[in-house]
Amino acid sequence: MGLIDRALGAIGYIRYKDGSHFNLKRNANFLGGDKLKIATNNPVVSACISIRAQILSQAEFYIEGANGEMETDHEVIELINNPNPLQSKQDLLKQFEWFKCVFGYVYQKPYGAMGFTPDYLYNLNSGNIDFPDDMLSPLMVDKSEVDAYFEQNFKYTDETDKVRLFKLNSIIPFYDVTNGLEATEYGAITGKSKLDAVIKQVSNIGLVGDAENVIIQSNGREGFSGGEKGKLGSSLPLDTDDKNQVESKLINSYGFGAGKRRSIATNTPLFWESYHIKHSDLGFEESIATNATLVREIFGIPNELYSAHKNGATFENQKEALIGFVQNVMQPVADDLANSWTSYFELEDTPIKVTFKNMPVMQHTEQKKADKVLRIATAYEKLVRAEMDTATIEALFDNQGISITNED
């Protein structure tokens, strides 16, 4: 690493071998750097976010009716299911999770006439957002300050380099960890990226991949060493007269054929050496595994799911791990979407809800509930046949933490 690279590294700037750049101290681009490119090009980060995005894409949104029923025949639900001409609901949700995980926040932009359900809904690439340098203070103490703050514009440059200005009150913001963690003029309306916490581990994984590629290219390379076997060195040729005599005998007396110089004489033995380095001796797998564990944990991916995604294998506890991941990690993400849409579209009286019950693995949970009810019912029936009174039976179940009076 040169003097310039060390100086830039001290301020959080990293220059990678592929020419890309990254700055730890900014949310988006810096001197051509791109967090999204870093994430999509890294096998571990890409796998972790892909798992999250794939599961989120299976969420089903609905309007909760007066009696708790699921209603999908609603204009907002239709918008969510068909958000724009280029994306399905699944595509929108996958892209949403990618942007949120990579940048720490994502804005959704509805398009349509004021006062009506929007015609389209898009995710804005957070890396293409520029905030004004003179942002108003986020500490607002009265309504006029609130109105003035959300009337501010930010600049968005789309993939065709077309610049658009959007007001803060026209977008729906979402944050990964939370907003307001960075002491910047726009920190209150942006979130901290998970990548910041493991950027060195992500870099290590990439560097190991580069090193492994170099080692693999050494396969099949060979040469000769002089002196004692296994010791590198150079061999000096014999004196000219001695060398010519030896080579003449090798060529003419031992059948190598006149004029065919297929031999060389040296004054020390030469030994064949393979320049191939054993992959197992370099510790690449251990290094990647150690760094991958930290990356996987920061994204909340259970090892069972990551291993199955990587190897295509099925594990006995994979199903339980997936259920736990859906319920404890992805359900809150989906709930945040539903709650934010409910607020933006002013549907508090008939809020948007979300469920993952349509996923095949979640049927396993429903089956477990049904099996539990069946076992309780069977045990209850046997106790009744044994002429045990109802009060005693209920007390027995209650002591085991099982309620038989309020079962669904």
Asked if residue 72 and residue 180 are part of one domain, the reply reads yes
210 located within any domain = no
Q: pLDDT per residue over 310-325, tens digit each?
A: 665 555 567 888 888 9
pLDDT tens series, the chain, 408 aa: 455 555 555 445 555 444 545 554 443 333 334 889 889 989 889 999 999 999 999 999 999 877 777 888 999 999 999 999 999 999 999 999 999 999 999 999 999 877 788 999 999 999 999 999 899 999 999 999 999 999 999 999 988 899 999 999 999 999 998 998 888 889 899 999 888 888 888 888 877 777 766 666 666 555 555 555 545 444 555 567 766 766 666 566 555 455 555 555 565 666 666 655 565 656 667 887 888 888 999 999 988 887 776 665 555 567 888 888 999 999 999 999 999 999 999 998 889 999 998 887 766 555 566 556 667 777 777 777 777 777 777 777 777 767 666 444
11 located within any domain = no
Asked if residue 142 and residue 99 are part of one domain, the reply reads yes
Asked if residue 353 and residue 370 are part of one domain, the reply reads no
For residues 46-58, one letter each, b for 16 or more C-beta atoms within 10 angstroms of the residue's C-beta and e for the rest, the string is ebbbbbbbebbbb
Tell me how crowded residue 105 is: count the other CB atoms within 10 A of its CB: 22
Asked if residue 114 and residue 41 are part of one domain, the reply reads yes
N residues, the chain: 408
43 located within any domain = yes
104 located within any domain = yes
114 token code pair:
């004021």
1 located within any domain = no
230 token code pair:
């296994």
Tell me how crowded residue 232 is: count the other CB atoms within 10 A of its CB: 9
Q: Rounded to an integer, what distance in angstroms lies between the CA atom of residue 201 and that of residue 214? A: 20
The pLDDT assigned to 382 comes to: 76
- Burial grade of 68 (CB within 10 A; 0-12, 13-18, 19 or more): exposed
Nearest to 136 by CA among 182, 168, 107, 175: 168
The residue from 318, 334, 358 where one domain ends is 358
What are the Cα distances from residue 143, in Å, to 67, 146, 149, 179, 180? 36, 5, 10, 21, 20
| Amino acid symbol at 86 | L
The DSSP call for residue 253 is: I
Asked if residue 189 and residue 72 are part of one domain, the reply reads yes
Asked if residue 231 and residue 321 are part of one domain, the reply reads no
Q: Rounded to an integer, what distance in angstroms lies between the CA atom of residue 263 and that of residue 251? A: 8
153 token code pair:
């514009």
The residue from 317, 335, 358 where one domain ends is 358
Asked if residue 256 and residue 341 are part of one domain, the reply reads no
Asked if residue 136 and residue 109 are part of one domain, the reply reads yes
Phi, psi of 45 (to 5 degrees): -60, -45
184 located within any domain = yes
Contact criterion met (CB below 8 Å) for 55 and 360: no
The pLDDT assigned to 252 comes to: 62
Q: Are strands 163-167 and 153-157 parallel, antiparallel or unpaired?
A: antiparallel
The DSSP call for residue 266 is: B
Asked if residue 158 and residue 40 are part of one domain, the reply reads yes
Asked if residue 323 and residue 177 are part of one domain, the reply reads yes
19 located within any domain = no
Asked if residue 254 and residue 365 are part of one domain, the reply reads no
Q: pLDDT per residue over 6-55, tens digit each?
A: 555 544 555 544 454 555 444 333 333 488 988 998 988 999 999 999 99
Tell me, rounded to whole angstroms, the distance of Cα 221 from its chain centroid: 37
CA dihedral of residues 122, 296, 286, 39 (deg, nearest 10)? 20
312 token code pair:
């295509």
Domain holding 228, by residue range, is 222-274
Asked if residue 383 and residue 256 are part of one domain, the reply reads no
pTM value > 0.75: no
14 located within any domain = no
Count of domains for the chain: 3
Residue-by-residue DSSP string for 308-342: HHHH----TTHHHHHHHHIIIIIHHHHHHHHHHHH
Q: Give, for 226, the enclosing helix (H) or strand (E).
A: strand 222-226
| Amino acid symbol at 312 | G
